[in-house]
Structures are given as C-alpha cells and as structure tokens.
Structure 1
Amino acid sequence: MEEFRQHIEKLSPLTEEKFNYILSFFKSKKIKRHRFLIQEGDSVHFEYCVVKGCLKASVMSEDGKDRIVRFAMEDWWISDYDAYFKKKNATLTVECLEDCELLVLSFEDRERLCNELPEMEYFFRKKIEAAYAAFQRRLVSLLCNDAKERYEIFLLQYPMLIQRVPKSIIASYLGISRETLSRISKP
C-alpha cells in the first residue's frame, strides 16, 4: 500500500492516521487478463485505482468495431465515469489486458471521503482536472492530426504502453486500421 500512499501524496500529503482511514474505504480486487471489469449495460457503482496491470475502456460502434476510449495502468483510475457519476448503466466496457490488482472505491465512499477530508477532495479534483485535460488533448488530436501525427503523440505521451498493448488495440485507440499503424510505425 506504500505505492498507493505515494500516489495520493503526490497531490495531498497525509498523516499515517489519515492514510489508514482513507485506505479503510477501499477494497482490493484481483482480476485475470481478458476478464471484464465493466460491461455495457452494467450498473456502475465503483471506480478503480490500478495497483498492477493494464486495462482498456471501449465502446462497440454500430459497424461492430471495438473503439478504444482510454487505457489505465499503474496509478491510473478507471470506470465508466458517465455511469458512475450519474447512476446510469454503462455505455463502456472495461477489460483487463493483463492480470490486474485494483483498489475499488464506491461512489458513496468517495463522496464521504471528499466531504470529510479536504485532502481527498483536492486529490480527486486534481485527478479529474488532469483527466479532462487529457481527454481534450486526445479529442483535438483526433480532429486535427493525421494518423502519423497521432501515433507520434501517442509514443511521446505513453511510451510504456507500446510494449504492453497489442498493436491492433493501439490502432483502435488512434482511430486507424492495424495496417495503417504497421505502415506508419516502421522506422
């Protein structure tokens, strides 16, 4: 749990007592590769902090293609946030790309932590701000950059994913075909 404490303390320093209190709200979960954490249509009551592993969030398009919305790996958080915050059914599917160890937090416990501890309200606000900015950058890139530029941006932002995620999934994330990715990724 020391890594998790360091993760929080990058934004919000904590006493030992406060960290132990915060930790009491989380449950541990292990899930195997290729298993689903969330499936489209599910009720979503939890968000997940990745302790170990890699996951993808995706949506199935009308043409039957799996469209990758985002990834999550160590120290990243994942859920179907539209469903989580608005108490709706999931529109995304979240799948483990590797065996995963997660810390699970319910919406109610998140709200309680934020109400009781300004450090956690600040932590979650900063995480949401960073996620919003990342989504904006991704959207701008999808709208304004060609395939090669999107791939180069991906390499700069997420070099650690290249070795962990199959090229077909990276291609889906970039909005291109596997063949196009093979062509533009050659040295």
Structure 2
Amino acid sequence: MSELLKKQFQAIISVSSEEFDYILGHFSHKKFKKHQYLVQAGDLVHYDYFVLSGCVKSYFTDESGKTHILLFGIPDWWITDYEAYYFQKKATVNIDCIAETEVLCLSHINREKLCQEFHALEHFFRKKTNRRNVVLQNRILTLLSSSAKERYEQFIVDYPDLVQQLPKHLLASYLGVTRETLSRLYHAH
C-alpha cells in the first residue's frame, strides 16, 4: 500500500528506495471502520492523513445543526483540519469514514523533521499545498457562482468514480442542494 505514497512522491520529486523507506518510517499506519473519526471538532489534530484505501468526508456542522461537507478524501489524497494541524489548535471540522479506510499518518513534528532533512520533501509538500489551495479556491468559486446543475455536472467530470460510491445525501450536502434537487439532477443526467 505504501507504493501509492511512493508513486505520489515520485510524480513531483526524486526519492531513492532507501530515502523512501526512511521517510515512511516517520509515518504510522492506521485502519478505521466506517463512521469512525480521524478528526473530531474540538480535539487537537495530531496527523495529516494520506488515504490508502476507503473514503472519508470533511465537514462542518453549523449552529443550527446543518452539516456542510467541505471535501471528500479518497485514495492518493491528503486530508486533515489544516488550521488545527499547523497551528496546534482545536479542530473546527470533523473527518469521518464513509467506508472502511486505511491511512498513513504523519505528525506535524515528523513532517517538519523530514522537511529539514530533505529539501525535496519540503518542495513536495509545498506543491501539494499549492494544489490544495487552488482546488479549495475553485470549490468556493463554484459554490458562489454556479447553478446546482453546473456543480453536479462538474462533480461528475472531476470525480466520476466517486459519484456512484457516495450516498446521495452526502453528495447533496457537498453540492449544497437538497436530496430532492439532487434526485432531479441525477435523473435528468
């Protein structure tokens, strides 16, 4: 399973097998059951998670109790509450498993240590952060300026495999629509 992480590194930086083994030694491996939390609002966040298998959702629950899904994490993706992770604050989002999930966990201390030891790894994480910033900016702009139909169609283009895996109520929450609206969009497509 760690080959997935190695492949992601090698798409951006050059890492020898020995270096990769050393880097991998700074991660812990965990398995989570469906509905189990990786991150829970109000708790300190100790890890950035690299998803090996399964699927997780990151979400915020507002004061009225409405859930807003920020993003999904699928294999080959990184996910955590980044504000809490970087600044050692309490989490404001929850991240829980939609399915049984396997992850590699990287503590902030180990991330900083590895980045000091390997300039290339610091470059890798900077590139990943830049990509995440662009994706989140585009998500916000899409929510602000696109119709429900346009958001649904873009989701299908961006995540064709995920559409079939997700329960419809989660997809509706992510798109910012009701289940009824999603049902109409689903049958019209």
TM-score, normalisation: structure 1: 0.97
Distance 1:126 1:173 in 2: 25
Secondary structure of the 1:88 match is coil
Correspondence for 1:167: 168
Distance in 2, Cα, partners of 1:124 & 1:97: 26
The aligned amino acid for 2:94 is: T
CA shift for structure 1 position 65: 1.4
- Structure 1: runs of 5 or more not aligned: none
SS in 2 for 1:94: strand
Which residue of 2 is the match for residue 180 of structure 1? 181
Q: TM-score, normalised by structure 2?
A: 0.96
SS of 2:165's equivalent?
Answer: coil
Counterpart residue type for residue 133 of structure 1: V
Describe the SS at the equivalent of 2:104.
strand
CA RMSD of aligned residues (A): 0.8
Q: Point out where structure 2 has 5 or more consecutive residues left out of the alignment.
A: none
How much identity, in percent, do the aligned residues show?
44
Where do 1:1-187 residues align within 5 Å? 1-186=2-187, 187=189
The 1-side partners of 2:117 and 2:66 are apart by 43
1:25-52 CA-partner distances (Å, limit 9, x unpaired): 0010001011111111000111100011
Q: C-alpha offsets along residues 84-130 of structure 1, whole Å, 9 cap, x if unaligned?
A: 11110000000000101100000010011111101111110111011
Amino acid at match of 2:17: E
User: Which portions of structure 1, spanning 4 or more consecutive aligned residues, are displaced by more than 6 angstroms?
Assistant: none
**Within 2, Cα distance between the matches of 1:112 and 1:95?**
28
2:95 partner amino acid? V
2 CA distance for matches of 1:170 and 1:135?
17
1: CA distance, partners of 2:3 / 2:151: 35
- Secondary structure class of the residue paired with 2:12: coil
* Matched residues, number: 187
